[in-house]
Structure 1
Amino acid sequence: MSVLVLLGVAVAGYGGTSGSAGSGGTGKVPRPAPTATYPVRFEGWDDPSPAPRPTVSYAVRFDR
């Protein structure tokens, strides 16, 4: 069991030092630019169309 733990620690340690990220340079690491602006606005929110309203207060049955 301890052999598996040691193997797991070795694999995790090796994976963390791959060097493929290019972290050896000096200066700041570039950050990704935001892809959205907040608050989000959609077309028609400033002037919404009126919602339909029923003209009677009781249910109208159409299955006669």
Structure 2
Amino acid sequence: MSTSIPLPIVVCYTSNFIVPAATTLLSIIESALPTTQYHIISLVEAPLFPATEEAIRALDKRGVVCQWSF
């Protein structure tokens, strides 16, 4: 599926469940088609530490996520 509008993916988690959320996101990113762009929307109970946000963004080594929202 090739889209010009990024496909939104919404995940909800707390700071206690960052590892399971990151595992889910990595699975999505690694199995994504290279022709599809994604917008990952993370709904969390409080702002994440900047280093944590950066670590989550770093999961996308293939460049399939065109936008991140926290």
TM-score (norm 2): 0.24
TM-score (norm 1): 0.26
Larger % of helix: which? 2
Q: Which has the higher contact order (CA 8 A, sep 6+)?
A: 2
Task: Find the structure with the greater CA-based Rg.
Answer: 1
